[in-house]
Amino acid sequence: VTTEPTIAWRDGALELIDQTRLPAELVSLRLTAVPDVIDAIKRLAVRGAPAIGVAGAYGVALAAAADDPRTDPGAFRAAVAALRSARPTAVNLARMVDRVAAAAEAAAAPGAGTGAAGSPADAALAEAHRVRDEEREASRAMGERGADLVLDLVGRTPVRAMTICNTGGLATVERGTALAVIQTLHERGVLAEAIAMETRPLLQGARLTAWELGRMGAPHRLAVDGAGPFLLARGAADVVLIGADRVAANGDTANKIGSYSLALGAARAGVPFLVVAPESTVDVATASGADIEIEDRGPAEVVAWGGVATAPPGTAAVNPAFDVTPVDLITALVTDRRVVRFDQGHTLT
Amino acid sequence: VTTEPTIAWRDGALELIDQTRLPAELVSLRLTAVPDVIDAIKRLAVRGAPAIGVAGAYGVALAAAADDPRTDPGAFRAAVAALRSARPTAVNLARMVDRVAAAAEAAAAPGAGTGAAGSPADAALAEAHRVRDEEREASRAMGERGADLVLDLVGRTPVRAMTICNTGGLATVERGTALAVIQTLHERGVLAEAIAMETRPLLQGARLTAWELGRMGAPHRLAVDGAGPFLLARGAADVVLIGADRVAANGDTANKIGSYSLALGAARAGVPFLVVAPESTVDVATASGADIEIEDRGPAEVVAWGGVATAPPGTAAVNPAFDVTPVDLITALVTDRRVVRFDQGHTLT
C-alpha cells in the first residue's frame, strides 16, 4: 500500500517512515547510528512488531559497522544489548537483534577469516537484508492464507472486518499482518468494509490504519475503542483480525491494548477472532500470557493529545501498552507457514 | 463535590455549568429560552441522564412562562416536544419533561382556576424544583446504599473501584450515581483508588470524572477505555460501577459506549459489576436492550480532538454514543429505593 517501503536500507543508512508524523505528513528519517535507531523505536517513529524487528536487525548492522566485534567486542555487545531492550513486549526485536548479532559474531570468530560472509559488518548487513526479505514474503503469505481462512469461516461475501491498531505495511516492511488479510480480501473484491478501532492512546488505528485503508481504496469507518464489543453485538462485523507482539507457547497473545476487549466481544457475539502474525512472533520460550512483560508507557500519552490536555493537570494514569488475549478466545492463529485452529483444539507446539 | 451545583434556578433563569469547558474553565451558562436549553443538551454542555432530566424539567418551566398553555397550547406543546427529543437515549429527559408538562397542563385545565398550583408557569416551576430535589436526595441514597453493597460484595477494605464516563455531581444535581458511591466510599475512608476510564470520544472520564475525583481528594488514575478489561484481568479493581441512561424492564442497561466492554471484562474476571441509577432511569415500558434506540453522534467527535485531526481528512466513522449491557453481565442495580440483585435471580418488575 505504502508506495515507499516502511523500512529501507540506502547508502549505508536505515531509512524509516516517521510514523509519529502521519497522517499529517509523510516524512522519512535517515538513521546512521545505533542511538538514533533506539530513539526511533522508543518514541514509536517505527512501530509494529515485525517492523521493529527489521529496524533492530539493521540497527545491529550499524552497530557492527561502528564497533567491529573483532576489535571492540565490548562496545558491539553493549550496542546490541541496548537495541535488544529498546522495547520489551514484542519478541521480534530481541529475536532479530540476536540473529543478526550472531551472524556478525560468527564472522568475527577467530577461524572465520574473510570467507564468503566477509567482515562482521558485511555479514550483519546481509543477515538484516534476509530478515527484511523474509518479513516481506511472510506478509504476502499471511495475507493469502488469512483471506482463505476468513472466507471459509464467514461462509459468505462480502465480508466486514474489524481490526485494531496498525498492522499494515507500516507495521512491517510491506502489506502487514492482519491488515494484509484485509488488503487481500479487498484485492479479491470481497471486502464490504473494514472497521478500524482508533486505538488509544496513540491512535494508530485513526492515524495509520485509516490512512493505509484510504490509500488502498478500501471502504472503511473508524470507531472509538470502547465501541468494538457493542458493534460486534449488533452484528457490524463478520470477523475480527488482530496482529500480535508476542504469541506464547500456549497461544495466549499479547497485542495492542484493547485487543482483549475485542476478543471478549467477538466470543460473546460468536464472531471469529483471528490473530495474524509471522512465525517470528511466536515465542515458545514463553509458556503463557502470564509470563509476558507488559510495558507501561506512563501518563503523558493518556492525559493529552496533540498538545491539548484531556485531563486536569497532574492527573495520574495507568497505561499498559499491550494486553493479553487468552487462547480460549482466539479462533485461530495465521502465520506465514500455518494456520493453527485453536477452536478445533490444535496447539502451537 | 462541585462547590456550585451543576444546575440551579436563579432569578427566572436556568443556570448550568458548561461541561464542554471543563477541566480548563469553570463557566456557567444562564439560559432563559427553550431553544438555548435544547442547544445546551444537544452539545453536551449539560450531560448525564439525571442532569439532562432536571435541565429538561426547567426547560418546560421556561416554555410555560414563554407560551402560556392556556392561551397558546400549540406553542407550549411544540416547545415541550422539542425539549423531549433533544436526546433520544436517556429516558429521564422524556420522563421529566412529560411530568413537568403535565403539571403545567393541569394548572391550565378549564376547572383549575387559580388554585394552590397557581399559573401553569408557577406549577411547572414548582414541579421542576421537585424533580431537582428528588434527584438530589436520590444521589445521597444511591451513594449510601451502593457503598454498603460494594463493601458487602468485595468483603475487604480498602476498595479499588473502576468507573466510566462521568456519573458524579456534574451528571446530576449533586454527588451523582456511580460516582456518588465512590465518593461515599472515600468519605467512609475505605477507598484505595478509583480508576476512571477516559471515555472516548468526548473524554468525560478524563475531563470531568478526574476533575471531580481531584476535588474530592480521592486517589485516582486515568486509563484509556481499551485497557479496562485487561486491568480487570490483572486484578487492578475490586468492583466496576457505572451509571445508566436507560434500564429496560428485563434489566438490560444502556450506558455510555464502553460500558459493555467493562461488563464483559468484569464477568470474565469475576469482579462485581454494578449499575447505579435513580428509579427515574428505569423504563419498564422498554422490554429489553434490543428496544433501546442508540444515538449515533456522527464522525466529527471521533476524527478530531481539541481541533487536532486524529485521522486523515474525510475519514468516515461509526459513533454509537451508548451501548447496551445485557442483564446477565450485571451483578446488581442500585437505585435510590432498592437494590436488585440480578446475580441472585431477582428482577425489576
As a residue count, chain A comes to 349
DSSP SS3 for A311: coil
Q: What percent of chain B has pLDDT over 90?
A: 87
Q: How far apart are CA A145 and CA A148, in angstroms?
A: 5
Sign of the torsion formed by the C-alpha atoms of B39, B45, B46 and B48: positive
Residues B178/B256, Cβ–Cβ less than 8 Å: no
Cβ of A258 and B227 within 8 Å?
Answer: yes
Rg (CA), chain A: 20
pLDDT computed for residue B114 by the predictor = 57
Picking from A2, A166, A225, A253 by the largest number of B CB atoms within 10 A of its own CB, the best residue to mutate is A225
pLDDT computed for residue A115 by the predictor = 57
Cβ of A318 and B227 within 8 Å?
Answer: yes
pLDDT computed for residue A112 by the predictor = 73
Position B275 confidence tier, pLDDT thresholds 50, 70, 90: very high
Q: Which of A259, A268, A306 sits opposite B305 (nearest CB)?
A: A306
Residues A34/A45, Cβ–Cβ less than 8 Å: no
Tens digit of each residue's pLDDT (9 = 90 or more) over A81-121? 999 999 987 788 999 999 999 999 999 998 776 555 689 99
Residues 6+ apart with CB under 8 A from A125: A9, A58, A61, A64, A65
* Mean pLDDT across B300-326: 94
DSSP SS3 for A267: helix
Position B199 confidence tier, pLDDT thresholds 50, 70, 90: very high
* Mean pLDDT across B163-190: 96
Cβ of B299 and A24 within 8 Å?
Answer: no
Q: Is A23 on the interface with B (CB under 8 A)?
A: yes
Give the global pTM.
0.91
pLDDT computed for residue A58 by the predictor = 98
Residues A212/A170, Cβ–Cβ less than 8 Å: yes
Give the type of residue at A203.
L
Query: Which residues of B fall within a CB distance of 8 Å from A19?
Result: none
Q: CB atoms < 10 A from the CB of B59, how many? A: 34
Which position among B67, B122, B245, B252 bears the catalytic label? B245
Q: Is B217 on the interface with A (CB under 8 A)?
A: no
Tens digit of each residue's pLDDT (9 = 90 or more) over A136-173? 999 999 999 999 999 999 999 999 999 999 999 999 98
Cell triple for A54:
527489521
Q: How far apart are CA A162 and CA B224, in angstroms?
A: 19
Q: Is B319 on the interface with A (CB under 8 A)?
A: yes
Position A1 confidence tier, pLDDT thresholds 50, 70, 90: very low
List A residues 287-316 in contact with B (Cβ-Cβ < 8 A): 299, 302-303, 305-312, 315-316
> What is the least distance, in Å, from the CA of B291 to any CA of chain A?
12
Cβ of B260 and A233 within 8 Å?
Answer: yes
Tens digit of each residue's pLDDT (9 = 90 or more) over B223-266? 999 999 999 999 999 999 999 999 999 999 999 999 999 999 99
Query: Which residues of A fall within a CB distance of 8 Å from B317?
Result: 221-223
Position B284 confidence tier, pLDDT thresholds 50, 70, 90: very high
Q: What percent of chain A has pLDDT over 90?
A: 88
Residues B132/B16, Cβ–Cβ less than 8 Å: no
Cβ of B258 and A311 within 8 Å?
Answer: no
Structure ipTM: 0.91
> Cell match 466529527: residue?
B300
CA atoms within 13 A on the CB side of A90: 33
Cell triple for A243:
496482529
Tens digit of each residue's pLDDT (9 = 90 or more) over A194-226? 999 999 999 999 999 999 999 999 999 999 999
Query: Which residues of A fall within a CB distance of 8 Å from B236?
Result: 318
Q: Which of B222, B259, B317 sits opposite A222 (nearest CB)?
A: B317
Residues A179/A210, Cβ–Cβ less than 8 Å: no
Query: Which residues of A fall within a CB distance of 8 Å from B166?
Result: none
Which position among A225, A238, A245, A252 bears the catalytic label? A245
Tens digit of each residue's pLDDT (9 = 90 or more) over A309-336? 999 999 999 999 999 999 999 999 999 9
What sections of chain B are H helices per DSSP? 34-42, 49-66, 73-84, 91-108, 120-154, 178-187, 204, 210-216, 228-233, 259-269, 300-303
Q: How far apart are CA B252 and CA B217, in angstroms?
A: 33
Tens digit of each residue's pLDDT (9 = 90 or more) over A68-82? 999 999 999 999 999
Query: Residue B217 above 90 pLDDT?
Result: yes
For B248, list phi and psi in degrees, rounded to 5.
Answer: -75, 170
pLDDT computed for residue A308 by the predictor = 85
Position B1 confidence tier, pLDDT thresholds 50, 70, 90: very low
Across chain B, what does the average pLDDT equal? 94
Position B2 confidence tier, pLDDT thresholds 50, 70, 90: very low
Cβ of B308 and A308 within 8 Å?
Answer: yes
Cβ of B226 and A197 within 8 Å?
Answer: yes
Cell triple for B42:
444537544
Cell triple for B8:
440551579
Query: Which residues of B fall within a CB distance of 8 Å from A258?
Result: 224-227
pLDDT computed for residue B3 by the predictor = 58
Q: Which of A210, A233, A302 sits opposite B311 (nearest CB)?
A: A210
Residues B315/A222, Cβ–Cβ less than 8 Å: yes
Nearest to A295 by CA among A316, A311, A318: A318
Tens digit of each residue's pLDDT (9 = 90 or more) over B87-137? 988 788 999 999 999 999 999 998 776 555 689 999 999 999 999 999 999
Nearest to A266 by CA among B294, B261, B162, B230: B261
In sequence order, the β-bridge partners of residue B255 are B323
Cβ of A318 and B198 within 8 Å?
Answer: no
Q: Is A201 on the interface with B (CB under 8 A)?
A: yes
Q: What percent of chain A has pLDDT over 70?
A: 98
User: Between these two residues, B112 and A18, which has the higher pLDDT value?
Assistant: A18
Query: Which residues of A fall within a CB distance of 8 Å from B233?
Result: 260, 323-324
Angstrom CA distances, A151 to A212, A268, A275, A295, stand at: 22, 21, 15, 35
Indicate if B245 belongs to the active site.
yes
Picking from A220, A260, A288 by the largest number of B CB atoms within 10 A of its own CB, the best residue to mutate is A260
Q: Is A97 on the interface with B (CB under 8 A)?
A: no
pLDDT computed for residue A4 by the predictor = 72
First to last CA, chain B: 34
Q: Which of B230, B257, B310 sits opposite A203 (nearest CB)?
A: B310
> What is the least distance, in Å, from the CA of B344 to any CA of chain A?
22
Nearest to B238 by CA among B198, B185, B169, B168: B185
Q: Is A269 on the interface with B (CB under 8 A)?
A: no
> Cell match 466470543: residue?
A267
Q: How many helices (H) and strands (E) does chain A have?
A: 11, 16
Picking from B160, B261, B301 by the largest number of A CB atoms within 10 A of its own CB, the best residue to mutate is B261
Determine if residue A256 is left, alpha or beta; phi over 0 gives left, psi from -120 to 50 gives alpha, anything else beta.
beta
Chain B residue whose CA is closest to A196: B317
Cβ of B200 and A199 within 8 Å?
Answer: no
